[in-house]
Structure 1
Amino acid sequence: MLRILTYNVRRCLGTDGRLSPGRIADVIAAYEPDVVALQELDVRRARTGGVDQAHAIAQALGMQMHFHASLRVLEEEYGNAILTHRPSQLIKAGPLPGRTGRLAPEPRGALWASVNLGGTAVQVITTHLGLRRNERLAQVDCLLGPQWLGHRACREPVILLGDFNASPRSRAYQRLASRLRDAQDTVPRHRTKPTFPSRLPMLRIDHAFVSRSIHVVRVESIRSPVARIASDHLPLMIEFQVMPVRTLKAGMEHVSD
């Protein structure tokens, strides 16, 4: 059985006001995932003590890391990461559509790695979408287009996960769910689990979407005492199996921007 986990860590700032990449790593380690998708990581930023949070968490977990900076100012970076202890290769990292200029909202991006899970190359894409509806729709259209999910290298099996800032009733969510399946909806008799806010979760905005060859066995919103304070989001963990795909080809290839 395989496990993948998505977690918006809010720059490792807990709801108790304490900064702690180590605490985030402890939350993750308790569930022993094969792959971890993280959003809102600070790298060498003054506001969080200059720590490379992506590297610190990966090191604590004994995992390799792929990082994409959605925002970069001089030496300071902020973005998303994919961590794994399985063989993996970065396929693509890049920005998603958004307004530019001094008053533009926070820039957004996506990160795609091919991870060897039990001899199968699983295409894992993580993202953190914008707060405005039109912005999210443009970003979803980009993800569904030829640069990402529509790319010839993005073949079965595929997992898209992260913080989408979109509820299941939103158009952005529904567009994604028309291409891939919401992992929470694939488990019989499963009651869907919200992830935000962590102290009293009511909203389901962190999602994992899977292709047809991913058989989801269990989905859990991690609600341990430490998870409730480590970030303002709870992690979402998906336990799954990879079903045989006849058309899956061996090897991995780099996709240019």
Structure 2
Amino acid sequence: MQRSVLVFMLCMAGASPLPAQVQGQVIKVLSYNIHHGVNNKGELDIQGIANVILATNPDLVALQEVDSATARVKKANQLQQLAEATGMYIYFGKAMALQGGGYGNGILSRYPIQESYSVELPAAGAGSEPRTAAVVTVKLPGDSLLLNFASAHLDHRENPADRLAQCGILLKHFGEHTRPVILAGDMNATPASKEITTLKSLFTDATEKLGPTWPSDKPTQKLDYVLVNNTSQWHVMSATVIEETVASDHRPVICELLLK
């Protein structure tokens, strides 16, 4: 779905005002750790995740904890199920083999995907899991501009060493890109952490003013983010934590971004 806008004196809650007559393209981004489709009732319910996506109508979706053909999801291809429910293009970035299938990050896009790949993230600590960032390149409608969009899930353990190493790989990879980049996902780190401070050497947190996202029933920590590079190209029009308490153990976050 194409979204473009000519903005006149825009001033929304939680966002700074834009100068008059700034033209650009509005991109709605959703980030959601879906807990492999198992809801807070312990039920496998990928349709609950699809309902959140359909209700929010995003252009780009970064998903974490996605299963593909594992025994615990009854061999379902969860990303394909979401594609069928939403009509969006998909890319699955497998991070590890699991139960006869795969586990990793997913991307849904209303824009055709020009290129897709995964960036392997280091996981060396005891009890760590393989991690990746799934990355797609999309061509924005009505424009020749290419945009990179990534879904990342950083290490979950208390020790930040692997997360910091993973942040370093992300900075090195995306620091070499000249085109606009949106990096979204479950960073397993709070806003004041060294991990987020490290990422902010390149990225701006479009969700900076948002509250906690985990656990979804009574959230106490902000772990989920939408980050953008090259701040001068972007304006955050709105950012919201969606008050969904059942479909996953994380609450989704959604942003409307103006790419100028």
TM range (shorter): 0.7 to 0.9
* Distance apart, 1:201 and its partner CA: 1.5
Alignment of 1:190-209 (within 5 A): 191-209=209-227
Equivalenced residues, count: 229
Contact between 1:66 and 1:90, CA under 8 Å: does it hold in 2?
A: no
C-alpha separation in 2, matches of 1:115 and 1:201: 33
Q: C-alpha deviations, 1:44-77, integer Å up to 9, x for none?
A: 1101211111111121110110111101147410
Which residue does the alignment assign to 1:229?
A: 246
Large movers: runs of 4+ above 2 Å? 89-92
Indicate yes or no: 2:145 matched with 1:125: no
Q: Alpha carbon RMSD of aligned pairs, Å?
A: 1.5
Letter in 2 for 1:135: D
* Distance apart, 1:89 and its partner CA: 2.2
Alignment of 1:57-72 (within 5 A): 57-72=82-97
Alignment of 1:213-228 (within 5 A): 213-223=233-243, 227-228=244-245
Q: What is the TM-score with the length of structure 1 in the denominator?
A: 0.85
* Distance apart, 1:169 and its partner CA: 1.1
C-alpha separation in 2, matches of 1:104 and 1:229: 28
* Distance apart, 1:195 and its partner CA: 1.0
C-alpha separation in 2, matches of 1:192 and 1:141: 24
In the alignment, which of 71, 76, 80 is matched to residue 101 of structure 2?
Answer: 76
Which residue does the alignment assign to 1:253?
A: none
* Distance apart, 1:92 and its partner CA: 2.6
* Distance apart, 1:114 and its partner CA: 1.1
Which residue does the alignment assign to 1:171?
A: 194
Indicate yes or no: 2:184 matched with 1:161: yes
Q: C-alpha deviations, 1:106-125, integer Å up to 9, x for none?
A: 11111111122242211111
Sort the Cα spacing of 1:94 and 1:210 in 2 relative to 1 into closer, same or farther, 3 A. closer
* Distance apart, 1:104 and its partner CA: 4.1
Sort the Cα spacing of 1:8 and 1:73 in 2 relative to 1 into closer, same or farther, 3 A. closer
* Distance apart, 1:126 and its partner CA: 1.4
Contact between 1:93 and 1:112, CA under 8 Å: does it hold in 2?
A: yes
Gaps of at least 5 residues in structure 1 are: 186-190, 244-257
Q: What SS is found at the alignment partner of 2:83?
A: helix
C-alpha separation in 1, matches of 2:190 and 2:115: 29
C-alpha separation in 2, matches of 1:164 and 1:73: 21
Q: C-alpha deviations, 1:112-154, integer Å up to 9, x for none?
A: 1112224221111111000230010010011111xx2123xx2
In the alignment, which of 51, 54, 66 is matched to residue 26 of structure 1?
Answer: 51
Indicate yes or no: 2:167 matched with 1:149: no
Q: What SS is found at the alignment partner of 1:41?
A: strand
Which residue does the alignment assign to 1:248?
A: none
* Distance apart, 1:155 and its partner CA: 2.0
C-alpha separation in 1, matches of 2:95 and 2:34: 15
Contact between 2:93 and 2:117, CA under 8 Å: does it hold in 1?
A: no
Gaps of at least 5 residues in structure 2 are: 1-25
